[in-house]
Amino acid sequence: MTQRHLALTSSYEIADKRLEMSRQWNCFLEERQIPRAVRPVVQNSWKRCMETGVDPTRQQTTVLLSDEDVQKRIANFRLYQLALPILERLAKQTEETGHLLTLCNHDGFILYLCGEQSILQRAEKMNFVVGSQWSEEAIGTNAIGTCLKTGQPVQIFASEHFCEGVHDWTCSSAPIFDPITQNILGVVDLTGPWNYAQPHSLGLVVAASQLIQQRLNEEADRHRYRLMERFWEAHRRYPQDGVVVLDLSFQMVQANTAARRWLANNYACLRQLLYQLMTDHQSNADAQKCKSFQPQTPDVTAIEEVFDDDARIGFLCIIRNKSVVNRSEPLMRSNPSWKDLVGHSPAMVQAMTKCEVVADTDVPVLLLGESGTGKERFARAIHASSRRRDKPFIAINCGAIPKELIAAELFGYEPGTFTGGLKQGKKGKFEEADGGTLFLDEIGEMPLEFQVHLLRVLQEKEILRLGGHRPAKVDVRIIAATHRDLVQMVREKRFRADLFYRLHVISIAIPPLRDRRDDIPLLLDHFVRRFADKYNRPIPKIDPELKAFLVHRYDWPGNVRELENAVEHAMLFCAGDRIDSDHFPHAIGNAYLSDTQEQTCTLLTVDSKNELTFTSDGSPSGEKERLLQILTETGGNLSEAARRLGIARTTLYRRLKKLGIEKRAIIRAGNP
Ligand SMILES: Nc1ncnc2c1ncn2[C@@H]1O[C@H](COP(=O)(O)OP(=O)(O)OP(=O)(O)O)[C@@H](O)[C@H]1O
């Protein structure tokens, strides 16, 4: 008899034994209301075990890692740290239930194990210890191995286990997946003596795995965002080069057009290069600190690791290939819009990413945002990075055209249609934009009665000039924009629902500047440089307090347009190398003044006895008490006092210094 026959025969014997056990087993299941259908998942697993020749008489798993290997696997197991707090909480909840909680990696190695000492000792007999492997190949059907094989949560009862040595146990496992590749990263498992089994155990591990999964997804989103941020920074810095970011599994996260062209033929080569670098890097302990490489290839000029805190999350690659540069130059020249679109706030990065994705398609885009947020600039950038970039970009403000002229403006007219019209007739905006992009700004202002005509053109892709008889085909990509709430307008029947859905295939929201203050310093800097260049002047500095006000407290009701105009105004009026509030338009200057006045009512001074007293500007004594109270409450902690007063700590320091207030006095206020 062959080994295989022996194994099969003994598995039949075991099956017989199981039948003997079954009466007792069924009673147990009935008592606990455990569902008892013969489960295909178990049958299939047994089949796999027989096919791979797992010995059903096996008493324990024999694959065991050394301590050193366990540590190595834990270090490479990115789930471990993230899952630990959740597992610790679950371990507390399952204390004294006779169950062992484990976390295994994708190979089925137990890397975390927790439970009662007596149960741990019993489990040791089958080698259920940290570092042992519980794949189906190692020890037959069991929740860990079967869950890894099927990708499904599973509970395996007693004699459902393939190998004899595990028959006294019941285990429940649920998988955790890589959010990007969807490969299984590991499983959470609860294992206990078979007569302690409960259906709830499966629910518990599923809940725990879902919690871990959620954390993992959040982390993946954060990493993705960080990688995108890095991409945009580099894309702006090296507009002539190919720029690509990849995640840790060398999947492309984002790439500009030049990089995409290069990657079409060289992706495999880049992956190999990264793999090689990582292997060399890991074998060189010192290199651990080195975060960028100069690869020895003519095309990839730099590879930089991207980190989130201390964790490496991906790679940024800059590709400078002669052919890439030459081909991308005309693109970049005719496409200044992307690099002129300033901003690195999450909202801007998200909006730009969406635009990049849709740029080369023909789907209509609806841009939503207050006046001056940059909707037209976005529309131009989409056009400029699309394959229509060499054709016209035509913008029309639907709110600025009188109702009766809108049809003629959009569709044109034939000769002799109007008295006073052009003799030869006139092309409409649709015809002018043929092959390119038509930007319908303020679409919410489009007269209701005209909307049906617009809808027809969008559906049929042909226009009929006023006074004409033969429709003409037009190939136009539509980008619309509005500051209005179109959904509300549709509800109020002021905007046609069918037109709304036609335009709203992709919508991109551009938040007001006050909601993305991270972008303000960049924009200030960008416009100061631009106007310094325009007016041929050295680059001045903005007074730091004023800048803090502009960045943190001014509301920018006119958004980027207001900021751009304000900086131009300031550049024209400042003579020296410093911009202060007098150089800005009145509205901003006045807002700054009242802001500082509001804050100077918290002025401090010291009296002749070096005691803290309040204000030289006649503020009411109630306020004096408030400030002294704040300093007392904060124990003289200026940072905390500044926070409570709503002013910067540096501002508070400066004022205290200006007023000659000594630290002693402040401390005394804190400790009277
Ligand atoms: N992110 C940005 N980077 C650089 N300049 C910007 C940005 N956003 C807007 N601008 C500038 O601000 C001004 C206003 O932008 P734009 O006309 O695109 O806004 P809009 O939202 O279309 O305004 P409206 O709704 O009033 O037509 C333009 O001069 C534009 O160049």
> Ligand 1 test: best mutation among 377, 528, 529, most atoms within 8 Å of CB?
377
Kindly give the number of the ligand 1 atom that is closest to the alpha carbon of 510: 21
* Closest residue by CA, ligand 1 atom 7: 374
With respect to residue 82, please indicate whether it lies within any of the assigned structural domains: yes
633's tokens: 């409450």
The residue nearest atom 9 of ligand 1, judged by CA position, is 374
State whether the beta carbon of 379 lies less than 6 angstroms from ligand 1. Answer: no
For residue 445, give both structure tokens. Answer: 């202002």
Report the nearest-CA residue for atom 16 of ligand 1: 374
State the pLDDT at residue 595: 79
Cβ contact 205:134 at 8 Å: no
Is residue 373 lining ligand 1, measured as CB closer than 6 Å?
A: yes
Output the CA 563–ligand 1 centroid distance in Å.
10
Contact assessment for residue 232 and residue 256, using Cβ atoms and an 8 Å cutoff? no
Average pLDDT over residues 16-23: 54
Q: Is 312 in the pocket of ligand 1 (CB under 6 A)?
A: no
CA dihedral 408, 414, 418, 424 (to 10 degrees): 110
Ligand 1 pocket check for 337: Cβ under 6 Å: no
Q: What is the mean pLDDT of residues 470-482?
A: 94
Structural domain span for residue 115: 3-218
Position 227 in a domain: no
324 alpha carbon – ligand 1 mean position (Å): 31
Per the structure, how many domains does the chain have? 5
Asked whether 187 and 147 are in contact (CB, 8 A), the reply is yes
Average pLDDT over residues 486-498: 93
Boundary (domain end) residue, out of 277, 312, 331: 331
Give helix then strand counts, H and E, for the chain: 26, 23
Closest ligand 1 atom, CA of 373? 21
Answer for the pair 194, 157: CB distance below 8 angstroms, yes or no: yes
Is 389 domain-assigned?
yes
Q: Hunting for tokens 């496992």 — which residue is that?
A: 173
Span from the CA of 576 to the centroid of ligand 1 (angstroms): 28
The H or E element spanning position 439 is strand 437-441
Model confidence pLDDT, tens digit, residues 22-65? 555 565 556 555 555 557 888 899 889 988 999 999 999 989 99
Q: Where are the beta strands (DSSP E) in 70-183?
A: 100-105, 110-114, 154-156, 169-177
Same domain, 320 and 274: yes
What mean pLDDT is predicted for residues 325-331? 35
CB 499 within 8 A of CB 539: no
Q: Same structural domain for residues 251 and 387?
A: no
Mean pLDDT of the chain: 81
Question: Residue 214 in 3-state DSSP?
Answer: helix
Distance from Cα 380 to the centre of ligand 1, integer Å: 11
For residue 309, give the CATH number of its domain: 3.30.450
* Mean pLDDT along residues 463-473: 90
3-class SS letters over 283-315:
HCCHHHHCCEECCCCCCEEEEEEEEECCEEEEE
In-domain check, residue 588: yes
Q: In what order do the strands lie in the sheet with 242-247?
A: 252-255, 242-247, 311-319, 300-308, 292-293
Cα–ligand 1 centroid distance for 511 (angstroms): 12
**114 and 98 together in one domain:** yes
Q: Which amino acid does the sequence have at 107? A: D
* 108 in contact with ligand 1, CB cutoff 6 A: no
Distance CA 430, CA 414 (A): 14
3-state secondary structure of 179: coil
427-452 pLDDT, tens per residue? 999 999 999 999 999 999 999 999 99
Among 271, 300, 331, give the residue marking a domain's end. 331
Q: At what angle do helices 621-633 and 638-645 cross, to 10 degrees?
A: 140
In a domain, 185, yes or no: yes
Same domain flag for 78 and 154: yes
Residue 214 and residue 78 in one domain: yes
Of the candidates 462, 562, 449, the one whose C-alpha atom is nearest the C-alpha of residue 514 is: 562
CB of 351 sitting under 6 A from ligand 1: no
The reply to whether ligand 1 has any atom less than 6 angstroms from the CB of 370 is no
Q: Measured from the CB, is residue 372 less than 6 Å from ligand 1?
A: yes
Task: Check if 340 has its Cβ closer than 6 Å to any atom of ligand 1.
Answer: yes
Question: Domain of 97: which CATH number?
Answer: 3.30.450.40
CB 322 within 8 A of CB 240: no
Instruction: Determine whether the shortest distance from the Cβ of 146 to ligand 1 is under 6 A.
Output: no
Closest atom of ligand 1 relative to the 441 alpha carbon: 27
Q: What is the mean pLDDT of residues 95-110?
A: 93
Cα–Cα dist 5/205, whole Å: 37
368 phi, psi to nearest 5 deg: -115, 130
pLDDT at 66 exceeding the cut of 70: yes
Higher local confidence (pLDDT), 209 or 40: 209
Indicate the top mutation candidate among 367, 560, 567 to test ligand 1's pocket, ranked by most ligand atoms within 8 A of CB. 560
Inside any domain, residue 233:
no
- Side-chain half-sphere exposure of 304, counting CA atoms within 13 A: 14
Note the pLDDT tens digit of each residue in 373-393: 999 999 999 998 888 989 999
Q: How many CB atoms lie within 10 A of CB 498?
A: 13
